[in-house]
Structure 1
């Protein structure tokens, strides 16, 4: 590649990454996902959280899961496990039968999504589809590192690879 020439992201087919809830991790996920050839979508149900926030990354920002265009090729990452809408948003994601669903959160803390989904009557088998923790175990601390480990894990999963340094 010549200096100053911009490379375009590879076309990997109909891959979509949906980040649920505006957050610093969501910002990095959307940017990195777009660079990796994903259609990148932010779902933020609270429009007040987007007021005055530029959206430099991602292909689309929508206010509901229904508007995100979820398919069997969609990977969904919930970037805030403390939001009051967590249960209803995840319930709607699980109805769509996406390829992969994960919720950020430390394995040292009780998952917030399980009781929220149970209270909405979601079947335990569907609740079990939700991954937590997410991403490869690289000791991520910053939003960019969390996004990187998450996307690396998704790519490894899509390619039926274990991730890490095992080949």
Structure 2
């Protein structure tokens, strides 16, 4: 049996040591119920949780609810970006701007059985195919999630697997 005082991972799991500092940022794009859960759970998982919301009214409501809002121009190489609503009219311009940043990972939520609206939106804006290919869809682990908290958990599980170089991954 591994003793918590010998194995660092075990010590963290038993609460006798602090988890290692993470330098990863979780960016939810568009205020939504899924974004709320992503940012809440993401904080608990060691991500710095941020929200990008271009609509001033929605941004104000999210800020009042405690979200930390940022502009796309502030995103850096620590950012894992999750677009939580693929129906928003701002989808193309926001994703184009995210793709111009040195972010680590970009994903768009959506049912893999339906066409990916971000592809058409980005193509219409003249974004190169190679850049469009950087956008993951579907995202998260295929666990049959349906509700906002389940979708957030599946998405974060995939990001954790990726962060920890594990095969949980994003493949369906």
TM-score (norm 1): 0.85
What RMSD in Å do the two structures reach over aligned CA positions? 2.1
Structure with the largest fraction of helix: 2
**1:65 aligned partner:** 72
Distance 1:24 1:149 in 2: 14
Q: Are residues 1:39 and 2:48 paired?
A: yes
Pick the structure with greater CA Rg.
2
Larger deviation: 92-101 or 25-34? 92-101
Counterparts in 2 of 1:163 and 1:50: CA distance versus 1, 3 Å: same
Instruction: List gaps (5 residues or longer) in structure 2.
Output: 1-14
Determine if contact 1:12/1:38 at 8 Å carries over to the other structure: no
**2:158 aligned partner:** 153
Distance 2:96 2:59 in 1: 23
| Segments of 4+ moved more than 4 angstroms | 6-9
Counterparts in 2 of 1:18 and 1:124: CA distance versus 1, 3 Å: same
Determine if contact 1:9/1:37 at 8 Å carries over to the other structure: no
Report how many residues are paired. 154
